[in-house]
Structure 1
Amino acid sequence: MIKVHCFVSCVCEIIKRTPGVDHRPFYFGVWDADFSVNARHELSYHSPHTRHEGFRDWYRLLYGVRIEEWYAHDRDKEANVARLVELVERRPPDRQVMVMLDMYRLPERENKFHQNPFPHYVMLEATADPDVWFMSDPDFRWEGELPKARILDAVRSPAAAGGFYFDGLEIRHTPRDTVAAYFRQCMKREENPFTDALRRILRAHVGPQAQEPLVHLTPALREIPVMAIRKYAYEHAFAWLLEAQGRQAEGDPWFEGWCQEIERLVKTYTRIQYRAMKLAMTRQPTLAAGVEALLDEQDAREFRIKHALQALFDEWWLGQATSALSRATLHREVMS
């Protein structure tokens, strides 16, 4: 299963372990998930103002679980560290405790994006050893024990500020109408916010609208890889909507074809980043046209993906409605 968003991966882990409940619809909110572009026209997958309110609201509506924020942004770091220690060491069995930490401060952990800093959500538990905690990192498919002091040092990073907890006592099966409402809200059929942002950032560094030095373009786009992988969430949606209609996704030529198109979408963002780096290094504004062309290509590709996914959703929705109508008609005939 592809992991594409650390917050979503953490909260979906308990859903995956619940029989009869599918976590994949929650990924509808990932392909166009929120991100930040600051006043210097720098792209960031995280900002100090990120609270994931939309994900938290829909998690409650979809699965009946309330995600509570324990991290107090109006308190200092040590007060929040003390709160984390209390939550972890007094954790009831069914409680999940999440914290944002700076992965750069844990060099023994994989930092596949080579980011410094690297804010990232994980889940924590105490162990029999008071100096050792158990860390679960669903996004990177890693779990294991680490020194408590090392973990807390990573939490103390100025780049990391966030934390939530939730109890998995009464997870419910997601109502069909709620899934449909979530899909409709998440599907931005007329825009591709990530590509649009990259285009604005490019034009802020080169061309008649430039406000930033061209050399700054490379750091401004350094977080493209962290965000490009969010587009793999489309695969979850295609697979779930197919299987919800009784069809097998894996091995289906139509499904595999769209997976290849999604792969091209993700990989082309890497090409965009490399072309932009070359543009910044050579300081040849004429290279900007090539970056613009790739961005236009991405727009066309993602709109095709969205169109196909919307058509599949409409097919699922109509099929569900038809089945419900057939069952109601049969019930009336039996009762008459």
Structure 2
Amino acid sequence: MIKVHCFVSCVCEIIKRTPGVDHRPFYFGVWDADFSVNDEMELSYHSPHTRHNEFRDWYKLLYGISIEPWYDHDADKETNIQTLVSLVENRPSDRQVMVMLDLYRLPERENKFHQNPFPHYVMLETTDNPDEWFMSDPDFRWEGVIPKARILESVRSPAAAGGFYFDGLNIRHTPAETVAAYFAQCMKTDHNPFTDALRRILRAHTGPDARQPLAHLPHAFREIPVMAIRKYAYEHAFAWLLEDQGKQAEGAPWFEAICEDIERLVKTYTQIQFRALKLLMSGNNDLLASVEQLLDEQDEREFAIKASLLALFNEWQRYRDIGVPHAHTEQAPLEVLP
């Protein structure tokens, strides 16, 4: 299964290596993970205000591990660089050191979204060569040795500002009741925040209430591919809820059909992006209705996926004989940057 969120992938890597503990429930928080829309009505998967607080809180509740921030947003970049160097070069063997860097500044690394800049979390260790560091990038399934100076240069990017560390000494098995509470917190049954945001961005650039130029729409939508792949997290949830009941996931017709629906959900977001570009290039206003129609279809598709997942979750609860927490249904406001 594809990995879909760099912060989550980094913190889950140590869980995957722990016998008897499963990382997949942590992905419940990914399909509707936070993002931002700024004053110019531009979509962004990351903002200067992103701290991943909910992920960190639930990671502690689920696995017993505290994710500690080391990056000081009130300090200058070089001060934070010094902190990073000290953390990496004095790292205990059971400590994981995460840093946000600008992947665009490391052209030797794959930048599959071709973004400039491309803020991205990785984990770092020393090597036998003091001028080289070992980089682990679980999200892109990449690891290797890169010159320390090149890594620090990518951390110096104005677009990159963040870092955490955590120790993997006392990872615990997650109680079913905690998993149920996390699922209920994550499951937004009455709205789809990402599709809602795209609809609002579209209407801010088109139609009678437009307050942004149409020419700006492709830029406003440019991070759709980075966000859309988060929907693959549904696969982790379906697979885990099935397998935790002793049922087969991969290869089972029902599960494979669900995966096809999730794939269609992800791919249609790209279709929305392309159709918005075509709207701009052609000037054909009839295409606006087709984009709106695709957004409506996305809502219908994702609500159906959520309904199937909720039914499976309720089945899992009965199997585990635990109480039924209420799914989260309140509208979460989009983050708007100052």
Worse-matched range after superposition: 277-286 or 160-169 = 277-286
Amino acid at match of 1:57: D
Query: Does the aligned pair in 2 maintain the 1:216–1:280 contact within 8 Å?
Result: no
Aligned pairs (5 A) from 1:184-263: 184-263=184-263
Match of 1:174 in 2: 174
What amino acid sits opposite 1:286 in the alignment? D
Question: Residues 207 and 285 of structure 1 are in contact (CA less than 8 Å); yes or no, is this contact kept in structure 2?
Answer: no
| Match status 1:154 vs 2:193 | no
SS class of match (1:302): helix
Say if 1:239 and 1:249, in contact at 8 Å, map to a contact too: yes
Separation in 1, partners of 2:241, 2:4? 19
CA deviations over 1:202-257 (Å, ceiling 9, x no partner): 00000011000000000000000000000000000000000011101011100000
Q: Aligned partners of 2:63 and 2:317: how far apart in 1?
A: 20
Amino acid at match of 1:49: H
Aligned to 1:21: 21
Matched with 1:76 is 76
User: 1:284 Cα deviation (Å)?
Assistant: 2.9
- Which amino acid in structure 1 is aligned with residue 71 of structure 2? Y
Is contact 1:214–1:283 with CA below 8 Å preserved after alignment?
Answer: no
CA–CA separation in structure 2 for the residues paired with 1:304 and 1:54? 26
Q: What stretches of structure 1 move > 3 A for 4+ residues in a row?
A: none
Deviations 1:166-216 (A, max 9, x none): 000000000110000000000000000000000000000000110000000
Please give the alpha-carbon distance, in whole angstroms, between the structure 1 residues aligned to 2:218 and 2:282: 12
Query: What residue is the counterpart of 1:40 in the other structure?
Result: 40
Q: Deviations over 1:106-143 (max 9, x none)?
A: 00000000000000000000111110000000000000
Aligned partners of 1:283, 1:185: CA distance in 2, in Å? 43
Task: Show the counterpart of 2:328.
Answer: none
**Cα distance in 2 for residues equivalent to 1:71 and 1:284:** 48
Name the amino acid aligned to 2:277. M
Task: State the alpha-carbon separation in 2 of the partners of residues 283 and 36 from structure 1.
Answer: 28
1:50 is aligned to 50
Letter in 1 for 2:133: W
Secondary structure of the 2:209 match is coil
TM-score by length of 1: 0.95
CA distance in 1, matches of 2:150, 2:32: 34
Counterpart code for 1:307: A
- Please, which runs of 5 or more residues in structure 2 have no aligned partner? 323-338
**Secondary structure of 2:116 counterpart:** coil
Task: Give a deviation string over 1:90-119, Cα, whole Å, max 9, x none.
Answer: 000000000000000000000000000000
> What is the number of residues matched between the two proteins?
323
- Partners of 1:103 and 1:282 lie apart in 2 by 34
Q: Distance in 2 between matches of 1:23 and 1:154?
A: 29
Structure 1 CA distance, aligned partners of 2:43 and 2:303?
A: 22
1:330 alignment partner in structure 2:
none
* Between 269-278 and 285-294, the greater mean CA deviation after superposition: 285-294
Question: In the aligned structure 2, how far is the partner of 1:143 from the partner of 1:112?
Answer: 16
Q: Distance in 2 between matches of 1:191 and 1:241?
A: 22
Q: Report how far residue 285 of structure 1 moved.
A: 2.7
Identity of aligned residues (%): 77
**What TM-score comes out, normalization by structure 2 length?**
0.95
Show structure 1 runs of 5+ residues with no match: 323-336
Could you tell me which amino acid in structure 1 is paired with residue 197 of structure 2?
A: A
1:320 to partner: Cα distance: 1.2
CA distance in 1, matches of 2:286, 2:190: 29
Q: Per-residue deviation at 1:287? A: 1.4
Partners in 1 of 2:210 and 2:285 — Cα distance? 11
Which structure: greater helix fraction? 1
Partner of 2:312: 312
Aligned-residue offset at 1:281: 1.9
Q: Which residue of 2 aligns with 1:63?
A: 63
Report deviation, 1:272. 0.2
Deviations 1:57-100 (A, max 9, x none): 00000000000000000000000000000000000000000000
Post-superposition shift, 1:283?
Answer: 2.8
Superposed CA deviations along residues 16-72 of structure 1, whole A, max 9, x for unmatched, are 000000000000000000000000000000000000000000000000000000000
